[in-house]
Amino acid sequence: MLKASYRKFILHFSKPAGTSRGILHSKESYFLFLTDDQHPDVTGIGECSILKGLSPDDRPELEAKLMQVCLNLPNAWDNRNEFLAEWPAIRAGLEMALTDLKNGGKRMLFPSSFTRGETAIPINGLIWMGQPENMLRQIEEKINSGFRLIKMKIGAIPFADELKILQHLRSHYSPDELAIRLDANGAFSPAEALNKLEQLAGFGIHSVEQPIRQGQPNEMAEICRNSPVPVALDEELIGINSATEKARLLDTISPPYLILKPSLLGGFEASTEWINLAEERRIGWWVSSALESNIGLNAIAQWTATLNNNLTQGLGTGSLFSNNFTSPVIVKNGALHHSNDIPWDLSSIN
């Protein structure tokens, strides 16, 4: 007999985080705790990570739905395609908790060479929006820390200033020395997107995520066909639940890349469905975290390590929050490592 409970937790950013949707100071996560009557001392933990204004779960009924899940295990999971179709963060957190419980409740969800400390996961260094001087300082810090691929958020400061930052970067680092991904978070209008992408192309950009807002598949398809910079779909995938809908979207837009965020897409099983459909169409992909705590980041990193994808991943480093949990997942030389010498400290949510 499974028993479940949940707890809300507010993560505080160490520094305000600028995005095209505004400045973030904190974010919510809800942790699901699962136990089994036969092993009451073993607890599986899953994180339901909520991004305000972006997560489909961000609505007043969220806690009522979490309570329904806790009162209806295991039916909630067995009927997940219907019961949790519109609640991807809850579905992801429940899948995470069930997987953790199945594997002994030790936050060792997907054992691999990564969890044994034998391999690492290359990740991009995330640069937050801000004043040009601040962004340049962040970039220098990432490069000095061993990152060879950076991801810049664009769209919140004047485009001319963003071009100057890129010009400065390329005057010091060639594309062979430093790869650059850009994330527009839908900041461009369809009418201006191609012109801006053409201006960006001169800087040897790896890709631009979500140049226009999601929900405009025909306009996005035209941009993907004509852009001199490869386009990656991110927010576009949110809320697309059935395999038929997913295949239709990919066939309509034909993007070069997908960015898979399990917390926004419904977890590992749902993300794997995207991967299979993408590979059938020779569409590239990588995995990204979505401001989870170290509990969610640990699970996503472990899952990612099993996928054998040789692209640099978009996983976080756990250092964004001042009240994050101590975990074995650390960043070193531009990559995530799992250090079994570092114990978990989850005392703040017990």
Rounded to whole angstroms, the Cα distance separating 9 from 293 reads 10
Q: What is the pLDDT of residue 130?
A: 76
Tokens 């929050």, residue? 321
Alpha carbon of 302 to those of 40, 63, 111: distances in Å? 25, 28, 7
Cβ 258 vs Cβ 233: under 8 Å: yes
Rounded to whole angstroms, the Cα distance separating 216 from 188 reads 12
Q: What residue ranges of the chain are covered by domains with CATH 3.30.390.10?
A: 2-102
Q: What is the pLDDT of residue 17?
A: 73
- Among 153, 164, 196, 332, the one annotated catalytic: 153
Q: What is the pLDDT of residue 20?
A: 58
| Ranges of residues in the chain whose predicted pLDDT is under 50 | none
Q: Which of 209, 204, 179 is nearest to 284 (CA)?
A: 209
Rounded to whole angstroms, the Cα distance separating 78 from 298 reads 25
What b/e sequence results for 46-70 when a residue is b if at least 16 CB atoms lie within 10 Å of its CB, and e otherwise?
Answer: bbbbbbeebbbbeeeebeebbebbb
Q: Is 196 a catalytic residue?
A: no
- Among 65, 151, 196, 261, the one annotated catalytic: 261
Q: Is 153 a catalytic residue?
A: yes
Q: What residue ranges of the chain are covered by domains with CATH 3.20.20.120?
A: 121-349
In degrees rounded to 5, what are phi and psi of residue 183? -125, 110
Rounded to whole angstroms, the Cα distance separating 69 from 135 reads 42
Q: Which CATH architecture has domain 121-349?
A: Alpha-Beta Barrel (3.20)
Q: Given this structure, which CATH class describes domain 2-102?
A: alpha beta
